[in-house]
Structure 1
């Protein structure tokens, strides 16, 4: 079997057959594109992934970035990827024509990210961060800031980061202590420290643009006193002159070692200049725009790695000869490939169902971003904005958590070999582990979902979501083969509604700790429902193609595998809803400290 990290056939199926991404080109903003331009972009990404990224995957893990004399040197492969990605036009592709972009739909660009990230999940962080920076400057920057920073970022001349976390604050951004001191010329002197800054320093570009959260001197405490600043590593008019941004240390991570995670100091010599981006004291809501995009990216990152792990373990299972089939235990028979053992097939199908189902869900979220961009009425805007607010934490969490689970299923397929550096699964297991921590841990995302997004605007997002899922149930119910699964999802939706009302009733009594105590279980429950929804959609498209004989060559096998994997997901993953719902409806309170006893932990 050929080495590969993703299925182009499956990606095309999801983009063009399930999501009908071509329909976006009917809108003026995207009408410069067609299926040919979409495929050209995907082909270009595939070429970079196969020729530059995959060959460097292991070596860049073994030879990680070094901090020498205050400067960080990264692997040569990062340089090659970064230059190729920028020169191909892909870095600028999703941005407007006025910034030399191609106005490529984010749904297609997410497909590009999936291709490149499955080849090397660490390299793509350098370019993804630039996209996030540009998005914020486009939305909140002055004309002068846009002209100065965007061309250099999108041409790959400058790198970009987001600087949020501080040593003493962690995820509690309301406690950040970095201070911005106003200067007579309208700039600010920045003083403070940031930690865990991905791609915070490197030798790829002449400059690095940090988007940094800080508190203007005299601003109120808490989240309302936080502002957002553009802070270059080097002075913008003198690129070799330091802007007093210091690389204080590089963290030695468990995985994703090709991307340096930096401890940065700002203004140690009182000469660090920053530029206010957007409104003063409104930095956190502005940064959350970048963080929401990054959260979708993190969910996608989990599935990128899970995809690569699936194909690595599938290749191994087809090649590894061990044991005999259970119905053929005669030792005189030749050993069989382990893919013929039912438990191995179960693990492989688990990986396949998670990777393909979650990819569809994530691409659906990106399509909502595109539809929000071209929405023509306030009602449409509200619908897609509400769906994105509701589903972003779910997409991030399910992709991260189940990506991790899926990779470990792959490692299990390899057995003892999977635990060694001789096979790539060991590295993937290390790389994927960070995803449930990036951009807000699973616990934080879960509390945001149940505590804010479910109740936002009187629960309108959940109504929009239910309407969308019900359409998929109605479509699939037309096929006898899919009707049992459609019925299961319909029944589970009704139970989910009852449990949501039960939890909101607890919230109405004012006990937030009890209300949110099992938010992670609620998140897992809702995540399974969303992937089940996507599998029903994919199975409907596949079943229609089978019945209409709308396929060529090996497509029949492909479509039949879709229906088979949908049934597998409903048996082995969807059935977990019964357990989760029983826990959520159970009113025993076992994790909240009522201060009447010392917790036994």
Structure 2
């Protein structure tokens, strides 16, 4: 039997029926693709994941990446991932034909990467980071750099990384001190250190192309003075060979989870012979990097959604097989004459499983929607439509990265609880999913940073225009749901929460209007949870409405139970999750401030 770590039917239902991939395929860029060919692609990715990813998931945790003699050693499946990733278009998929790509929609790439992430989240990052760094070179570097580095990266022969973080800087990129000194020979001498570099070194790539943020001597202070450089581990020697480029692998971090996905500490220029080539214009490095960040943040949300999904299926399988206890009789007592019942029959276990289902499937819907906005903003011709999808994407991106990560970890925790004591033991896989997902609220800007971005930038950008677009989308779903008696009460509840959101936003933006920005942003993280929960309720109402419409019209692709299960999950989310926004609203509109630094020291 094929490995059960995702529900392929739900993935295809969300991709085609719910989010309308075929609307995206109507765009000129994707004219060569159709549903049948893309189905074949996704099925080949699933078959590859079943064979080469999922069987090695536990083993990669038990035999983690390690540093020895100046190099990082990783599991042999990393070599398979790089080679097959190149052959199957898992690195180049979304790129232009002219750049060696397949011009796949981001929606399809996201779906394919979701399958891989769910099968084994330790492996897709190696090709994902190579894709991201190649994308930066394609978009912003000159033709010489593109022709020198990109083909070998897209084939999987060379790896790629993005080097932002430094030991003293963390998330504060304005404090980057890695130095770039110009020479007369067209390159810069690079010196400094970078930490937490995912996929930064291993034995299964002939070379690594590091995209490094550094400061040219004399550059302005802060983020305005940061430039982007191509810094290979080995540089071309001019005669078809490669020579060492004074890039040192200092260490590999030993981690709580994702132990098979190496995370390196790199040194540049220890012997003053590290050469880097400027990408684009000087002092524009952070701007270039952040233009790619939407894709990176979709990828983090996607990865977290995938782990939560795999954990759900593992705990669901256990609950269907594990007998324990007995069902209560009508008298409220256990009938000891009856045999033990499977734990999936206990209401509290069902509650935990439904929580996992609604968080994981809702998160998948969210990342696919973001991918659709990404595709349409890039391809639609109408300026008004382009603006709409661009602003919608900008607004939801912090939630796309954060909700699957934070709530995914909560979902996996509930999955572990379903197994009870066994969930805490290494004999069962839930404890590994629990450890693996914990990094996702930290990747690509922590929850706190994403929350500041959502409240402090995205919500108020262009005088709240993005929020107007999102509100219109939600209202359309409420209107559609109101056509069905069964769904009308849920549409009403979501409408009430929209009004509550307006009240909360008005309260908080009042501080910004008075210039009290610290108070405005002090509770950005509770606000993230507040708005994300409302957004997810919208997505679940949309899922429920689509499922109900399908049942009413009888135009079913899947079984009746499939659609009924989606409606049931929607109702669960509205009962158990949506009401939490009332408490969050109370927190957010409380006048008292308890977290801003004052005259008295409160920590002793």
Match status 1:575 vs 2:575: no
Residues of 1 paired with 2:2 and 2:478: CA distance?
37
Unpaired runs of at least 5, structure 1: none
Partner deviation per Cα, 1:144-198 (whole Å, 9 max, x = no partner)? 2222222111111111110000000111000011000001122111000000101
Residues of 1 paired with 2:421 and 2:128: CA distance?
35
- The equivalent of 1:160 in structure 2 is 160
How far apart are residue 600 of structure 1 and its match? 4.0
User: Secondary structure of 1:434's partner?
Assistant: coil
TM-score of the pair, normalised by structure 2:
0.97
Partner deviation per Cα, 1:514-567 (whole Å, 9 max, x = no partner)? 111110011001111111111111111110111112226x61000000000000
Matches within 5 A, 1:543-582: 543-551=548-556, 555-582=559-586
How far apart are residue 240 of structure 1 and its match? 4.4
User: Secondary structure of 1:436's partner?
Assistant: coil
User: Secondary structure of 2:593's partner?
Assistant: coil
Count of residue pairs the alignment pairs up? 599
- The equivalent of 1:112 in structure 2 is 112
Matches within 5 A, 1:458-477: 458-477=463-482
How far apart are residue 90 of structure 1 and its match? 2.8
Match status 1:589 vs 2:593: yes
Q: In the alignment, which of 306, 310, 313 is matched to residue 311 of structure 1?
A: 313
How far apart are residue 407 of structure 1 and its match? 0.6
- The equivalent of 2:524 in structure 1 is 519
How far apart are residue 289 of structure 1 and its match? 2.0
The question of whether the paired residues in 1 share the 8 Å contact of 2:189 and 2:274 is answered with yes
- The equivalent of 1:192 in structure 2 is 192
Residues of 1 paired with 2:100 and 2:139: CA distance?
16
Range with bigger deviation, 308-317 or 293-302: 293-302
Residues of 2 paired with 1:130 and 1:239: CA distance?
21
Residues of 2 paired with 1:286 and 1:240: CA distance?
27
User: Secondary structure of 1:229's partner?
Assistant: strand
Residues of 2 paired with 1:540 and 1:519: CA distance?
31
- The equivalent of 2:602 in structure 1 is 599
Matches within 5 A, 1:400-439: 400-439=405-444
User: Secondary structure of 1:563's partner?
Assistant: helix
Residues of 2 paired with 1:82 and 1:482: CA distance?
47
Q: Provide closer, same or farther for how the CA distance between residues 267 and 388 of structure 1 changes in structure 2, counting only shifts above 3 A.
A: same
Partner deviation per Cα, 1:310-366 (whole Å, 9 max, x = no partner)? 000000000001000122611121111100000000000000000111110110000
The question of whether the paired residues in 2 share the 8 Å contact of 1:207 and 1:239 is answered with no
The question of whether the paired residues in 2 share the 8 Å contact of 1:133 and 1:290 is answered with no
How far apart are residue 292 of structure 1 and its match? 2.5
Residues of 2 paired with 1:88 and 1:21: CA distance?
21
Partner deviation per Cα, 1:28-81 (whole Å, 9 max, x = no partner)? 100100001110111111011100100110111111112221111210112122
The question of whether the paired residues in 2 share the 8 Å contact of 1:303 and 1:358 is answered with yes
Residues of 1 paired with 2:517 and 2:598: CA distance?
13
The question of whether the paired residues in 2 share the 8 Å contact of 1:326 and 1:341 is answered with no
- The equivalent of 2:462 in structure 1 is 457
The question of whether the paired residues in 2 share the 8 Å contact of 1:539 and 1:563 is answered with yes
Range with bigger deviation, 177-186 or 134-143: 134-143
The question of whether the paired residues in 1 share the 8 Å contact of 2:3 and 2:54 is answered with no
How far apart are residue 573 of structure 1 and its match? 0.7
Residues of 1 paired with 2:241 and 2:328: CA distance?
68
How far apart are residue 508 of structure 1 and its match? 1.4
User: Secondary structure of 1:297's partner?
Assistant: helix
Matches within 5 A, 1:495-506: 495-506=500-511
Residues of 2 paired with 1:361 and 1:234: CA distance?
40
Match status 1:398 vs 2:403: yes
- The equivalent of 2:278 in structure 1 is 276
The question of whether the paired residues in 2 share the 8 Å contact of 1:41 and 1:90 is answered with no
Matches within 5 A, 1:142-221: 142-221=142-221
Match status 1:382 vs 2:387: yes
Residues of 1 paired with 2:550 and 2:386: CA distance?
33
TM-score of the pair, normalised by structure 1:
0.98
Residues of 1 paired with 2:33 and 2:78: CA distance?
30
Match status 1:492 vs 2:494: no
- The equivalent of 1:244 in structure 2 is 246
How far apart are residue 279 of structure 1 and its match? 1.4
The question of whether the paired residues in 2 share the 8 Å contact of 1:48 and 1:85 is answered with no
- The equivalent of 1:102 in structure 2 is 102
User: Secondary structure of 1:435's partner?
Assistant: coil
Residues of 2 paired with 1:444 and 1:557: CA distance?
41
The question of whether the paired residues in 2 share the 8 Å contact of 1:299 and 1:395 is answered with yes
Range with bigger deviation, 109-118 or 124-133: 124-133
How far apart are residue 239 of structure 1 and its match? 5.2
Residues of 2 paired with 1:514 and 1:165: CA distance?
28
- The equivalent of 1:534 in structure 2 is 539
User: Secondary structure of 1:268's partner?
Assistant: coil
Residues of 2 paired with 1:263 and 1:170: CA distance?
13
User: Secondary structure of 1:246's partner?
Assistant: strand
Residues of 1 paired with 2:414 and 2:386: CA distance?
40
**What is the RMSD of the two structures over their aligned residues, measured on CA atoms?**
1.3
User: Secondary structure of 2:597's partner?
Assistant: coil
Residues of 2 paired with 1:385 and 1:131: CA distance?
22
Range with bigger deviation, 381-390 or 265-274: 381-390
Range with bigger deviation, 329-338 or 339-348: 329-338
- The equivalent of 1:322 in structure 2 is 324
- The equivalent of 2:33 in structure 1 is 33
Residues of 1 paired with 2:57 and 2:242: CA distance?
31
Partner deviation per Cα, 1:88-114 (whole Å, 9 max, x = no partner)? 223222111112211110001100010
